[in-house]
Amino acid sequence: MTIKENKFTELIKFKSWGCYPEGYNPVEHGPYDPSRYYGKPDTPFGDVKLGELSAWFSRREKGFRQFAALISRAHWRWQLKYIHPRKANMAPLYQVAFLGSVFGYCINYLRLRGHRNYKYH
């Protein structure tokens, strides 16, 4: 294998995909929950005072992988709360419909804003 092929194979290997997070310990945490953060616990964002906000942000791990994990945890938390319960109701459908209409309004806002100044009579 040439050097170029070796670098390419290193790029396409995703060693962390399909594995548990680094902080997960089955003996300590029990069954795996995809909506839970298994890293070092820190002050929740709602409890942070304004003076401590910059220090709190500096302690955060930043990067694409951490952001993707954040979105994944939020998605699983939403699914476990609204989609997977035994007696789920219509709330997730209403939420998706509402977000779809807000998104549609936002992407069409530049076309719609001129209509408020038109005089039809």
pLDDT digits (tens, 9 = 90+) for 26-53: 899 899 999 998 888 888 888 999 999 9
pTM to 2 decimals? 0.70
Tell me if 73 sits within 8 A of 37, measured CB to CB: yes
Q: Which two tokens stand for residue 82?
A: 């609204």
Digit-coded pLDDT (tens) for 65-78: 888 888 999 999 99
Residue with tokens 């942070």: 48
What's the pLDDT tens digit per position in 83-102? 999 998 999 999 999 999 99
Determine the pLDDT at residue 112: 84
pLDDT score, position 61: 83
From the list 53, 49, 70, the residue with the least C-alpha distance to 61 is: 70
pLDDT, residue 98, reads 98
